């Protein structure tokens, strides 16, 4: 049983006890961390890397709405396919990269200024102070994207933060898939004015099984 599942079951049991008159402090089991996906800039997406792994960009805003500080214990992303892996990119200053202020994906020319990235800002043991929101990008890599996911497919995942309180804060993330062949084709063509990257359909993934 995963840590997230254990903590969700504990929270559900305590809520059940409270609903039946038992003296339980619900505020102690509910997370005060709110996670929001920033919309309108098309930054959040998943895409193929030259080595066949998958790159992830999450544009998020995170705020501690509680009265006290919280310490991060775990950051997690779940996607609806088996054998999914997720690893945040290391800070360039920790890897000895040539450009210490740029995050770069493996084998990719895609790079982001350190000032825009949250990987080194929100990590294990980071203290989240009340009402001090953090906005920026989480950059990560994972294993190969399933072959049946087509370019432009809308996908949904679950991003969670677990703090010292224990109960996870969870946000549903809407992604758009980019296949390598289509990315290469796109770079050779000029996009027509006001044309979207691809047609977008509502995200319909059933996420109920991810945390079971």
Beta pairing partners, 42: none
Per-residue pLDDT at 26? 47
How far, rounded to the nearest angstrom, does the alpha carbon of residue 161 sit from its chain's CA centroid? 9
- Please give the Cα distance from 127 to 112 (Å, whole number): 24
**Are the C-beta atoms of residues 147 and 81 closer than 8 Å to each other?**
no
Q: Residue 189 pLDDT more than 70?
A: no
Q: Residue 187 pLDDT more than 70?
A: no
**Are the C-beta atoms of residues 206 and 79 closer than 8 Å to each other?**
no
Q: What is the pLDDT of residues 134-146, one digit of tens each?
A: 999 999 999 999 9
- Please give the Cα distance from 166 to 6 (Å, whole number): 10
Q: Residue 205 pLDDT more than 60?
A: no
Choose the weakest-confidence range: 12-21, 52-61, 96-105, 111-120.
12-21
Retrieve residue 123's tokens.
């990590």
Exposed/middle/buried for residue 83 (C-beta within 10 Å: 0-12, 13-18, 19+): exposed
Per-residue pLDDT at 192? 46
- Please give the Cα distance from 63 to 162 (Å, whole number): 13
Retrieve residue 100's tokens.
């210490």
- Please give the Cα distance from 168 to 161 (Å, whole number): 6
Q: What is the pLDDT of residues 82-104, one digit of tens each?
A: 878 999 999 987 776 677 789 99
Per-residue pLDDT at 100? 79
Q: Residue 201 pLDDT more than 90?
A: no
CA-to-CA dists, residue 210 to 79, 106, 113, 129, angstroms: 8, 28, 32, 29
- The more confident residue out of 208 and 123 is 123
**Are the C-beta atoms of residues 92 and 104 closer than 8 Å to each other?**
yes
Beta pairing partners, 48: 54
31-187 maps to CATH 2.60.40.10: yes
Residue 114, SS3 per DSSP: helix
Closest of 36, 189, 46 to residue 110, by C-alpha: 46
Q: What is the pLDDT of residues 21-71, one digit of tens each?
A: 565 554 445 678 999 998 876 789 999 999 989 999 999 999 999 888 999
Per-residue pLDDT at 16? 60
How crowded is residue 47: how many other Cβ atoms within 10 Å of its Cβ?
21
Q: Rounded mean pLDDT of 9-29?
A: 55
How crowded is residue 66: how many other Cβ atoms within 10 Å of its Cβ?
18
The residues spanned by each domain of the chain are 1-29, 31-187
């Amino acid at each position: 049983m995963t840590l997230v599942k254990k903590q969700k079951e504990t929270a559900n049991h305590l809520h059940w006890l409270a609903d039946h008159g038992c003296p339980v402090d619900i505020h102690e089991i509910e997370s005060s961390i709110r996670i929001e996906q920033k919309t309108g800039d098309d930054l959040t997406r998943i895409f193929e890397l030259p080595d066949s792994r998958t790159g992830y960009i999450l544009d998020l805003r995170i705020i501690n709405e509680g009265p006290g500080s919280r310490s991060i214990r775990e950051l997690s992303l779940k996607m609806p396919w088996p054998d999914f892996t997720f690893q945040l990119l290391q800070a360039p200053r920790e890897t000895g990269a040539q450009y210490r202020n740029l995050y770069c994906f493996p084998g990719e020319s895609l790079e982001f200024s350190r000032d825009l990235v949250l990987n080194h800002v929100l990590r294990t043991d980071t203290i989240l102070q009340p009402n001090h929101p953090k906005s920026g990008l989480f950059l990560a890599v994972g294993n190969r994207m399933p072959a049946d996911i087509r370019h432009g497919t809308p996908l949904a995942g679950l991003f969670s933060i677990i703090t010292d309180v224990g109960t996870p804060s969870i946000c549903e993330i809407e992604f758009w898939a980019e296949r390598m062949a289509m990315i290469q084709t796109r770079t050779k063509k000029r996009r027509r004015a006001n044309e979207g990257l691809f047609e977008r359909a509502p995200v319909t993934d059933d996420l109920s099984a991810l945390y079971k």
